[in-house]
Each structure stands twice: as structure tokens, then as C-alpha cells.
């Protein structure tokens, strides 16, 4: 699922440290910019309809990257079709895991509803 380079990176289970590493006011905005790339890739990956197919994402400005992997078949939440996915987030020497949910909007495109640190335990 992940390349050998990603397998050698230490897993932390949280993205909070990534934003604190540089210590400047822009670090939180950069992390959000990274996540915007992840969300866009998740919407694209889900529109392809594949299951268990990882799609890489990268923010060329920060070098942050990862993979988006849809976890299961779609399900209905009310009258809306949704899917869960897993995202890896690698920035520098820090690797984190995120869990997300996306739902298909009225016009047929997928929109990420949530993307948050994966709860471990």
C-alpha cells in the first residue's frame, strides 16, 4: 500500500506535531493547505469507484504527501451516499494517519465531510 520510503518513517498517530515543528504562525495554515490537497485527492479517488485502491497526494509547496485509500463500499446516510477512507500524511520525518468520510453531493461529486486524526486503541 505504501512505498518503501514511507515504511521507514516513524508513525506518530497525530498531525499536531507537524504544525508545531517550525514554530511559526504559518505552520497551522500550511498543515491546512496540506489537508486541502488530501481532501481533493480523496474526492477524486472516491469518484473512481475503486475499493482498496490507494491514490497518492502531494502538496508541492510543502513537500507533504501521502495516500488516500477508500476503506469500504459506499453506504447510505439518510438519502446521501457516503464512503469512509484512510489517509496517510507524511511531512518531513513525521507520519500520521487520518480517517475521513466523504459523501456524494447532489451534483454527483464527492465532498469530504470529515478528515481527522485516526483514533488508535
pLDDT in tens, 58-87: 999 999 999 999 987 788 988 899 999 999
Mean pLDDT in residue range 15-37: 59
Q: Is 80 exceeded by the pLDDT of residue 47?
A: yes
* Joined grid coordinates for residue 66: 501521502
Amino acid 84: pLDDT = 93
CA distances, 3 to each of 7, 8, 26, 65, 113 (Å): 6, 9, 29, 12, 28
Domain housing 78: 4-117
How many domains is the chain partitioned into structurally? Answer: 1
Whether this model's pTM surpasses 0.85: no
Amino acid at each position: 500500500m505504501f512505498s518503501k520510503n514511507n515504511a521507514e518513517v516513524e508513525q506518530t498517530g497525530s498531525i499536531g506535531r507537524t504544525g508545531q515543528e517550525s514554530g511559526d504562525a504559518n505552520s497551522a495554515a500550511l498543515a491546512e493547505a496540506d489537508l486541502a490537497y488530501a481532501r481533493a485527492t480523496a474526492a477524486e479517488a472516491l469518484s473512481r469507484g475503486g475499493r482498496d485502491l490507494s491514490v497518492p497526494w502531494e502538496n508541492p509547496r510543502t513537500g507533504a504527501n501521502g495516500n488516500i485509500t477508500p476503506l469500504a463500499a459506499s453506504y447510505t446516510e439518510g438519502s446521501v451516499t457516503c464512503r469512509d477512507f484512510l489517509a496517510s500524511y507524511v511531512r518531513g520525518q513525521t507520519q500520521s494517519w487520518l480517517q475521513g468520510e466523504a459523501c456524494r453531493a447532489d451534483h454527483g461529486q464527492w465532498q469530504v465531510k470529515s478528515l481527522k486524526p485516526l483514533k488508535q486503541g
